Amino acid sequence: MIELKHVSKRFTTADGTVEALTDVNLTIRDGEIYGIIGMSGAGKSTLVRCVNMLERPSDGSVEIDGRDIGALSEAELRNVRRSVTMIFQGFNLLMQRTCLKNVCFPLELAGMKRHEARARAMELLATVGLPDKANSYPAQLSGGQKQRVAIARALATDPKVLLCDEATSALDPKTTHSILELIRRINRETGITVIIITHQMSVIEETCDRVAILDNGVVVEEGEVGTVFANPRSDAARRLVFPDGAEAVLPGEDSGERRLRVVFNGAKATKTPLITQMAIDRNIAANILSASTRCIGDKVFGNMLLGIAGGDETVADAAAYLTSVADVVVEEVKNDV
């Protein structure tokens, strides 16, 4: 379990003090995939670096399994970092080493024997699907392949926690999906705790169990992904859920329409047009106020905001109809949020 208690971080610059994080309190459970989302400059990268003390908090403490890692000596901290590893937006592979030797690197640092390290590294390259790239150099790989090597490298020391700092931000949607799939698979198979930092809602929707929304160094919302995104309460959350502005898609109260937010968490895409089918089957006309969905492989991610004219019964009926599809979450959006 990772506990951040009252973590604040201030940077002193030429123009004075900048407060990057303010009183952040988070608890991340063992084995979960935890997302931290926010706009650029919200303090996400600083926050994730506090977890392995690449940045030391100005105030507050970070405890991993009850151990205050801010109080450790440099040598002890280096040991902790073998069990809390990290992947990055820019991959940060050693460009003059082969992929195999990149994966060997953390093992070399830990003092493992060369042939044992090589055997372990080969195993990991196979895990991430690149057994044939052992002797290639990073420059010869695509972005997605580089991130796979970086993941293999991060897993080499058998860590308990994997920190992902915008790990998919430099990748195209398809590659992003395959990397997230790999991270989920590793999480399932090894029970590793994963913390994902991102500015993309799709990454959180697709991967995370719980999410914290960071705005200007403050955690403004936290909870289960479905709950937070289905009913965003804070301004920051609404900006993420309705990137074009919530007001633009939410008509005034007097329109008489009720609104349903439909969240697709990897629902199976079918040939049937869902909304049209609802109109035919249930005779409910839905007005699509906004939609941001994408198909990745044969699955749908994203969300849709529907305006439905009618009473409680009609809305409940529509919600029930839509929820009958697996991996779709439906929530009514109130105006007073």
Partner 1 sequence: MFNGAFTMESLQDALPILLNEFPLAVWETVYVTILSTAFAIVIGLPLGVLLVAGDKNGVLPLNKGVMSALGVIINLLRSVPFLILMILVFPLTRLIVGTTVGTVASIVPLVIAAFPFVARLVESSLRELDPNIIEAAQSMGASPAQIIMKVMIPESVPSLISNFTIAITTILGYSAMSGIIGGGGLGKIAINYGYYRYKYLIMFVAVILLIVLVQIFQTVGDKWAARSDKRLKR
The residue ranges that bind partner 1 (CB under 8 A) are 52, 54, 74-75, 77-82, 85-86, 88, 90, 92-98, 105-106, 108-110, 137-140, 153-154, 157, 163
Angstrom CA distances, 120 to 104, 108, 111, 184, stand at 8, 11, 13, 21
Q: Is 323 helix (H, G, I), strand (E, B) or coil?
A: helix
In the complex, minimum distance from the CB of residue 64 to partner 1, in angstroms, rounded to a whole number: 14
**173 token code pair:** 């949607």
In the complex, minimum distance from the CB of residue 185 to partner 1, in angstroms, rounded to a whole number: 22
CB nearer to partner 1: give 20 or 260: 20
CB nearer to partner 1: give 78 or 268: 78
In the complex, minimum distance from the CB of residue 98 to partner 1, in angstroms, rounded to a whole number: 8
CB nearer to partner 1: give 120 or 210: 120
In the complex, minimum distance from the CB of residue 142 to partner 1, in angstroms, rounded to a whole number: 12
In the complex, minimum distance from the CB of residue 248 to partner 1, in angstroms, rounded to a whole number: 38
Sorted by sequence, the CB contacts under 8 Å of residue 135 that are 6+ apart come out as: 98, 99, 100
**266 token code pair:** 């990897």
CB nearer to partner 1: give 151 or 322: 151
CB nearer to partner 1: give 47 or 263: 47
Residue with tokens 């897993």: 155
CB nearer to partner 1: give 137 or 321: 137
Sorted by sequence, the CB contacts under 8 Å of residue 333 that are 6+ apart come out as: 231, 250, 259, 260, 261, 305
In the complex, minimum distance from the CB of residue 50 to partner 1, in angstroms, rounded to a whole number: 12
Q: Which of 85, 6, 99, 90 is nearest to 48 (CA)?
A: 85
- Residue 151 corresponds to which amino acid? I
Angle value at C-alpha 114, between 110 and 116, nearest 5 degrees: 85
Angstrom CA distances, 304 to 187, 262, 329, stand at 29, 5, 11
Sorted by sequence, the CB contacts under 8 Å of residue 80 that are 6+ apart come out as: 52, 53, 64, 67, 69, 72
In the complex, minimum distance from the CB of residue 107 to partner 1, in angstroms, rounded to a whole number: 10
CB nearer to partner 1: give 138 or 307: 138
**175 token code pair:** 């590659």
Residue with tokens 């069990």: 83
CB nearer to partner 1: give 109 or 288: 109
In the complex, minimum distance from the CB of residue 74 to partner 1, in angstroms, rounded to a whole number: 8
For the chain, the straight-line distance linking the first and the last C-alpha, in angstroms and rounded, comes to: 32
Contact between 238 and 335 under an 8 Å Cβ cutoff? The reply is no
